[in-house]
Structure 1
Amino acid sequence: MRDHGPGDPDRLPPPAPCGLPAEVNGFVGRAGELAAAARALETSRLVTLVGPGGIGKTRLAVRAAAAQQNRYADGARLAELSLVRDPRLVAHALLGALGVTDHTGRPARDVLLRHLAGRRLLLVVDGFEHLVETCAPLLRDVLRHAPGVAVLAAGRRPLRLDGEAVLPLGPMTPQDAALLFTARAAGTGRWAREDPALVRELCRRLDGVPLALELAAGRLPALTLEQLLDRMDDRFGLLTCGVRGALPRHRTLRTAVGWSHELCTPAERLLWARLSVFAGDFDLEAVEYVCSGPDLPAGSVLDVLGELIAQSVVTRAESAGGARYRMLDTVRAYGAEWLAELGDAERLRSRHRDWYMGLATWCELEWFGPRQADVAACTDSALPNLRAAVEVCLERPDEAHLGQHLVGTLWFYWAGCGRLSEGRHWLDRVLAHETRYPDARLKALWVLGYVAVLQGDAAAAAAALHECGEGAEAGENVLAGAYATHRKGCLALLSDDVPRAERLLRSALADYDRVGELNSNVLMGQVELAMALVFQDRLDAAVEVCEEVREVCETFGELWTRAYALYVLAYAAWAAGEHARARALLTECITVDHRFNDLVGLALAIELLALVTASEGDPAEAAVLQGAAAPVWDSVGVAVFGSVHFAAPREMCARRAAEQLGARRYEECVETGRALPLDAAVRRALTAPERVRVFRARQRTGPPASPDTREPAGLPTGNGGETAG
């Protein structure tokens, strides 16, 4: 290489041992993201880390560059552009980062390209988003003219250049967030080991955003963790006073987020503010309905939303139901402040409430049909927004009836998707409000009765259903009266008053037929009638009813009620000594119940499967299955509703297994099952036929073996199993 004079801009000064800023405190976590950055730099000369303010892009970029700089003969250099306001100075800033001074008067761009042409260098460009229109074409020219140069960029939006590898950077994992907060808190000099649960809650409330965690740790000399959590509603006022010497945009949480806001167009700022009414995930259709208006036409919403995604204000993710979007709570809170300033918050909250009431109504209708699994997933995803919609109704006394209607409409979710406890919470809350709209209250009352019945709370169920029945009669609401009678029949069934249960259920089914009602509730009423027949030893009649239900379910593609019909048919098969058929029916039943997270149906089916297993001659495995069902009941309420009839399979199984195993070994097997997590318990149940076969083989060749506690492989887990039939 030729010798250059001291003023020659082509001359790069000998590199320092490290051309990157030294870390002043330890780098925590992000192992996966660092590995992803390293892989991306192996295949692309332009890698851009994108994410919202305070997410840790700068620290990650510098750390990744430090790890990779030995691959480049000229090392790595950091160009910090956040303080550059004039686009004409971008090339000068890059030259400054490279240590190049120019006295020639030539255009800075030309000097930069000439200087880098023969270099092998990793150039880290940070904070470019406000200069993207200038920075992008300049970096494109650098990559074209300097084949030995790679660029690792960090900003709130991509550069959108050919060959760019974009790596979105999200919040830290809960474990990494807790480690970061603890590490920074230890440096305050006032830190003692605190309750890990409080640390986890603080990290959750702060979205796992590194800047927010570091600012929160900085408050510990003056505040306890409990005080920090209590003040979190004013996070922008609380999380200030960053470290001296930090970049201005990193000194407070408000300025970190406000920096993104400054870069938005008026339409983007308006949509940002309106999106703050959403809680959790949301989809495009919801945004177009809730956020559009004369000043933001529905046809433009997609383009504006796309720009917010590009600037890392909104994140996009794929789900089973398609593309979903969300904002970090901190970003949402900033938008909410602007929405309040615009004076438009209440109108937007009403539109949001209306959309999710419509969504709940659609889900209730679609529940009776082939899309049940989609409805369950949709409701799961929408749950934070549904909660927010109910809260809006309860804040406005004249709209409490809308809350009653909304919570009642979600009966299928509370009862069918493992949400009894939350359903009870909302039902109790909405029914505490008196309204002038009796029909909405009646619906919430029978749903409360249903939920309370399944929880084994007979007193609450009886009170709710009595009020519903009287109100339905007074208002001549035949359908509400039928639902009240139906659920009274359920209560009688679970209370072991079987003849009364049969009378009430037949009466309700006649009323349903009279008004033309046909849905999952009606079919479930038929299954419950069949159970009443079973409990009166009228198995043939029960089988006839359930076969009819099964046929209707298969016609409409209904799975949830069908699983309960299969349960009754399995009981009848066991009673007839048809153990293989009973097991096959229960396998279908358990798969569907687990798919929908229906814990009541799941616990009943596993306990009946335990009885079948005992009848097949494997008491140890039967005891394990019994134990596996116990924690499921614990999460629902009273085990088998406190019913003698529903508890009969459990009692028969326990008696048989204990007699064959002895009390001590029986309890050991039960405890083995009780220790299984839910998914493992389901896998255990679904692999029981193979276990029984192995057990029988061992019986023929040697002494009885202890129950196998190994996990089977390759079987479905939570809500992901395929249903047969």
Structure 2
Amino acid sequence: MRGPQRPGPATRGDLPPELTAFVGRSAELAGLAEAMGTARLVTVTGVGGVGKSRLAVRAAARSAPGDAVWWVELSPVRDPQSVHYALAEALGLTDHTTRTPVEALCRHLAGRRALLVLDGFEHQVEAVALLVSRLLRELPGLRVLAAGRRPLGLAGERLFPLAPLSGDEAVELFVDRARRQGPEPADGPAVRELCERLEGLPLAVELAAGRLRALSPAQLLQRLDDRFRLLTGGDRDALPRHRALRTAIGWSHELCTPAERLLWARLSVFARTFDLEAAEYVCSGDGLAAEDVLDVLSELLAQSVLTREEGPAGPRYRMLDTVREYGCDWLEATGDAPRLRRRHRDWYLGLATWCELDWFSPRQREVAARVEAELPNLRVALEFCLTEPDEAHLGQYLAGSLWFCWAGCGRLSEGRRWLERSLELDSGYERSRLKALWVLGYVAVLQGDTVPALAALRECREQAEQVADGAAVAYAEHRTGCLALVTDDMARAETLLRSALERYREIGELNSNVLMGQVELAMARAFQGDLPDAVRLCEDVRRVCEDHGERWARSYALYVLAYAAWRDGDPVAARELLQDCLEDAHTFRDLLGSVLCIELLALVTAGQGDPAEAAVLQGAAARLWPSVGLPLFGSAYYNAPHELCETAARQALGDGRYEECVREGARLDRDAVVARALGHGGVRPLPALPAPRGPVPSEGEAGRREPAASPTRKGGETAG
């Protein structure tokens, strides 16, 4: 799954470049293309390290130009139930509803021509087979290209067994990798014999080429000869190529220094990728000092045991699955695996705590990118907490601390699953449980799932009052007020939100949640007709956000300010505010914030004299709304901009032209519509549409004003 923030459908540019760049295999590539043309499910099979992933990705890159292509890396998935979330993540799918992940996937792909490339599925073959079977059954435009060590075993599956490289191709690969380190090796016969002894396995060839800084091809060959008999032990019934691969990896392992072997084994606890700081913490100690980890890691990079890649979260390191498996075996053999897994959990528990605090800071976007990159490791940490004895309270705390990821970065469904799993366990730590409860209630509110939301929030408040946990009471009251807001009970919403804000002030709580509470109060005031009070509240939020570098809560404040600007007859200011809001909401994968902006921007666009573009934006919003859990189109208040815009656009365009523009917008993916909304301009100004009537009371019904929030403590709760 490439790229920590990819909200829209993948393109061929999202396929891993280190795999698409591989040379050779022209005959196999042509054969695989032929198979893909005649079967909807093709599985490339072969021994680990034979090049299945590379061939599949190269074939996908050359698939039909009209097809959307997604690469889904499943090797880090430890829990069968997480297969669906891994696939949704790869597709950039954000769904805030209570649909199952499979239902959301089917809806997302319905009517589309698409190719899924599933890599490294063999350890979750049953879960993957069930998922693929349903997707192929319900989505006639879908094709699947799988790469693994065994078939999926589904009807209609066409197998494409992949043999090792030919002699010439193996030599070509060896020379190509050798050139990256220095001059081309001159000893051609030794290179050819070495590649033959390695049986043409690409991974083995690359590991051997990684040793050329220290050894000549002839020396490599001699050392390999010495170790074949020694290292081909184990299962006698294993295929020769399996033994050859393990021999090559074991031989590379034997050539490592003791410190390199130790780090190799310890790095195997990471899922997919990791950064240097994590490696220094998790892997240091007991024979490896933290200050030495970088030097040892650099040697593993030079030997092709690790690869380095760049991303929005900075440089990260990856260990190939086959190499990781070898390291896992060694780690288990040392008896140190439980300690390393606990250190891994501790690091990511600390990371989540830091990220929760830093979410309310100028590093908010950096936090979003960091958590996205670390999700596989955070999932491993959560799984550890929820399956190890006496760790449930840490699982509840970790799932609760990631509220900003679930609610702020578009992962409601996955977050709800972890929260519900954690709350099924008796942790014995009330504070951790209370945190998980209010976050679960918050997530369920955003999904529009009223009954479970109320149940979680009521339980949280009752238990918090019993143990005098003022913060948990405030959060439960706040989110209950949020639920009243989105179900059009404005009076109750105002009462609860005012009370929650007062509680926050009393305990000195200041973070993004608190500011969102003030924005939600502003919405309640605006919908009751007191625009000046709503503007004052949101201007205060904007000031605090800008002082602290906060962008997420700020985006919602800008939405309310844009609504007020439109009501005041200033569409230019409203557009500027909405575009600023939309840019941030899209960056954070906040689907609700994005679609609210697009709807109001459509209304502003119609008022500025471009009803066709307004209808296009409405069509794009209509495509996104089914993925938003909040029942906003059942809300007279939130629905008013849509109805006003539709009425005006239909009158200007006529029904036929309006529907045509709506259909055009419905064909736009989220990236495309956001780019269009942010770049649209140059329309002729017209008088603004009249203010909403009916569901939005007049401004004369203003109530009392809420003093600006000024608490001093930042951050959330701590673990019990």
Tell whether the structures are fold-level matches, with TM greater than 0.5: yes
Q: Which position in structure 1 is the counterpart of 2:635?
A: 643
1:237 CA drift (Å): 8.2
Q: Which position in structure 1 is the counterpart of 2:293?
A: 301
TM (norm. structure 2) is: 0.66
Q: Which moved more, 1:453-462 or 1:650-659?
A: 650-659
Q: Does 1:673 align with 2:665?
A: yes
1:345 CA drift (Å): 1.3
What do residues 177-207 of structure 1 show as CA deviations (whole Å, max 9, x unaligned)? xxxxxxxxxxxxxxxxxxxxxxxxxxxxxxx
Distance in 1 separating the partners of 2:549 and 2:656: 46
Q: Which position in structure 2 is the counterpart of 1:566?
A: 558
Distance in 2 separating the partners of 1:624 and 1:349: 51
Q: Which position in structure 2 is the counterpart of 1:79?
A: 191
> Which of 486, 490, 510 is the equivalent residue of 1:494?
486
Q: Does 1:426 align with 2:418?
A: yes
Q: Which position in structure 2 is the counterpart of 1:513?
A: 505
- 1:66-465 pair list within 5 angstroms: 79-82=191-194, 127=208, 133-135=214-216, 241=239, 253-465=245-457
1:600 CA drift (Å): 1.0
Distance in 2 separating the partners of 1:369 and 1:63: 51
Distance in 1 separating the partners of 2:291 and 2:187: 48
Distance in 1 separating the partners of 2:539 and 2:188: 73
Kept in 2, the 8 Å contact 1:79–1:126? The answer is no
Distance in 1 separating the partners of 2:505 and 2:586: 31
Kept in 1, the 8 Å contact 2:167–2:195? The answer is no
Say which structure, 1 or 2, has more relative contact order (CA 8 Å, 6+ apart).
2
Question: What secondary structure, in the 3-state scheme, does the structure 2 residue paired with 1:325 have?
Answer: strand
| Cα gap change, 1:561 to 1:56, in 2 (>3 Å) | farther
What do residues 71-106 of structure 1 show as CA deviations (whole Å, max 9, x unaligned)? x9x998773353899xxxxxxxxxxxxxxxxxxxxx
Distance in 2 separating the partners of 1:552 and 1:58: 66
Kept in 2, the 8 Å contact 1:560–1:592? The answer is yes
Distance in 1 separating the partners of 2:450 and 2:677: 31
Kept in 2, the 8 Å contact 1:606–1:629? The answer is yes
What do residues 567-621 of structure 1 show as CA deviations (whole Å, max 9, x unaligned)? 0000011111111110011010011111111111011101110111122222221
TM (norm. structure 1) is: 0.65
RMSD: 3.5
Distance in 2 separating the partners of 1:375 and 1:439: 25
1:514 CA drift (Å): 0.3
1:255 CA drift (Å): 3.5
Kept in 1, the 8 Å contact 2:207–2:305? The answer is no
Q: Which position in structure 1 is the counterpart of 2:73?
A: none
Q: Which position in structure 2 is the counterpart of 1:627?
A: 619
1:526 CA drift (Å): 0.4
> Which of 571, 575, 580 is the equivalent residue of 2:572?
580
> Which of 605, 609, 628 is the equivalent residue of 2:601?
609
| Cα gap change, 1:126 to 1:80, in 2 (>3 Å) | farther
| Cα gap change, 1:24 to 1:544, in 2 (>3 Å) | closer
Whichever residue aligns with residue 608 of structure 2, its letter is: E
What do residues 335-359 of structure 1 show as CA deviations (whole Å, max 9, x unaligned)? 1122112121111111100000101
| Cα gap change, 1:670 to 1:134, in 2 (>3 Å) | closer
1:537 CA drift (Å): 0.9
Q: Which position in structure 2 is the counterpart of 1:479?
A: 471
Kept in 2, the 8 Å contact 1:494–1:641? The answer is no
| Cα gap change, 1:237 to 1:438, in 2 (>3 Å) | farther
Distance in 1 separating the partners of 2:206 and 2:341: 40
| Cα gap change, 1:254 to 1:409, in 2 (>3 Å) | same
Distance in 2 separating the partners of 1:272 and 1:545: 54
Distance in 2 separating the partners of 1:249 and 1:269: 23
| Cα gap change, 1:670 to 1:310, in 2 (>3 Å) | same
Of all paired residues, the percent bearing the same amino acid is 59
Distance in 2 separating the partners of 1:589 and 1:381: 24
Q: Which position in structure 2 is the counterpart of 1:10?
A: none
Whichever residue aligns with residue 300 of structure 1, its letter is: D
Instruction: Count residues in correspondence.
Output: 511
Q: Which position in structure 2 is the counterpart of 1:112?
A: none
Distance in 2 separating the partners of 1:358 and 1:126: 35
Whichever residue aligns with residue 82 of structure 1, its letter is: L
Kept in 1, the 8 Å contact 2:207–2:248? The answer is no
Q: Which moved more, 1:497-506 or 1:671-680?
A: 671-680
Whichever residue aligns with residue 499 of structure 1, its letter is: A
> Which of 473, 496, 517 is the equivalent residue of 1:504?
496
Whichever residue aligns with residue 418 of structure 1, its letter is: G
1:524 CA drift (Å): 0.6
Distance in 2 separating the partners of 1:125 and 1:515: 59
Question: What secondary structure, in the 3-state scheme, does the structure 1 residue paired with 2:391 have?
Answer: helix
Q: Does 1:686 align with 2:675?
A: no
Distance in 2 separating the partners of 1:652 and 1:84: 73
Q: Which position in structure 2 is the counterpart of 1:552?
A: 544
Larger Cα-atom Rg: 1
Q: Which moved more, 1:321-330 or 1:580-589?
A: 321-330
Question: What secondary structure, in the 3-state scheme, does the structure 2 residue paired with 1:258 have?
Answer: helix
Q: Does 1:590 align with 2:582?
A: yes
1:487 CA drift (Å): 0.2
Kept in 2, the 8 Å contact 1:624–1:669? The answer is yes
Whichever residue aligns with residue 192 of structure 2, its letter is: E
Whichever residue aligns with residue 288 of structure 1, its letter is: E
What do residues 216-269 of structure 1 show as CA deviations (whole Å, max 9, x unaligned)? xxxxxxxxxxxxxxxxxxxx989953xxxxxx6676543443333233222222
| Cα gap change, 1:443 to 1:65, in 2 (>3 Å) | closer
Kept in 2, the 8 Å contact 1:563–1:593? The answer is yes
1:302 CA drift (Å): 1.5
Distance in 2 separating the partners of 1:358 and 1:452: 26
List alignment gaps of at least 5 residues for structure 1. Answer: 1-21, 34-53, 86-123, 140-152, 157-235, 242-247, 697-725
Question: What secondary structure, in the 3-state scheme, does the structure 2 residue paired with 1:645 have?
Answer: helix
> Which of 648, 660, 663 is the equivalent residue of 1:656?
648
Kept in 2, the 8 Å contact 1:277–1:348? The answer is yes
Distance in 2 separating the partners of 1:495 and 1:84: 70
Distance in 2 separating the partners of 1:660 and 1:83: 72
| Cα gap change, 1:440 to 1:57, in 2 (>3 Å) | farther
Question: What secondary structure, in the 3-state scheme, does the structure 1 residue paired with 2:191 have?
Answer: strand
1:310 CA drift (Å): 1.2
Whichever residue aligns with residue 623 of structure 2, its letter is: P
Distance in 2 separating the partners of 1:396 and 1:488: 33
What do residues 621-663 of structure 1 show as CA deviations (whole Å, max 9, x unaligned)? 1111011122322333255263221122112212222233233
1:61 CA drift (Å): 5.5
| Cα gap change, 1:58 to 1:528, in 2 (>3 Å) | farther
- 1:519-558 pair list within 5 angstroms: 519-558=511-550
List alignment gaps of at least 5 residues for structure 2. Answer: 1-23, 33-53, 59-162, 177-183, 198-204, 225-233, 687-720
Question: What secondary structure, in the 3-state scheme, does the structure 2 residue paired with 1:398 have?
Answer: coil
